[in-house]
A = this chain, B = another copy of it.
Amino acid sequence: MEQIYSTPIELRFSDLDLYGHVNSVAYFSFLETARVKMFENLFRELTGKNIFLLVARAECDYKTAILFGDALVVSISVPRIGTASFDLDYLLHDGTGKNYANARTTMVCFDNVNKSTIAVPQCIRDMQEKPT
């Protein structure tokens, strides 16, 4: 699957839990931060139209513990764009081949003026053809 976006994520001390590992909840915060950065670059037009991207489903498979001081990169691909929703796949890795986790979110588009979900707009459909 072709990755359309990659960003390093800087760990914070507060990401660590009692065991000295990055807490499993924090991974979802990393997905969110990477996703918002990706959409900030590509889709400023969407938010200008009051269209929100909401998470309908999120999942993560944990492979290897992340420790403080580790490098973390989140790379995103787009495995599916349907009529009403689309999926984002995330690879959490160290940038040099070590895989920390695989994750996926299913996103829906929400029109915050009419307060209803809408069809996936064209600028998102274009993601699969025009990788950045």
* Interface majority SS (helix, strand, loop, mixed), chain A: mixed
**Chain A, 1-38, contact with B by CB distance < 8 Å: what is the 0/1 string?**
00000000110111011111001110011001100100
The verdict on A124 contacting chain B, using a C-beta distance below 8 Å, is no
| A61 partner residues in chain B, CB cutoff 8 A | 56-57
Shortest C-beta distance, A63 to chain B (Å), equals 9
Shortest C-beta distance, A31 to chain B (Å), equals 8
The verdict on A43 contacting chain B, using a C-beta distance below 8 Å, is no
Q: Out of B57, B68, B112, which one reaches A59, CB within 8 Å? A: B57
Nearest residue, chain B, Cβ from A35: B13
Enumerate A46-85 residues with CB–CB distance to B below 8 Å.
52, 54-62, 68-69
Q: Out of B12, B32, B58, which one reaches A29, CB within 8 Å? A: B12
| A23 partner residues in chain B, CB cutoff 8 A | 14, 32
Residues on A facing B (Cβ under 8 Å): 9-10, 12-14, 16-20, 23-25, 28-29, 32-33, 36, 40, 52, 54-62, 68-69, 112
- Known contacts A13-B17, A14-B23, A14-B29; 11 additional CB pairs below 8 A are A12-B29, A14-B33, A16-B18, A18-B20, A19-B52, A24-B54, A25-B25, A25-B29, A57-B59, A57-B61, A59-B60
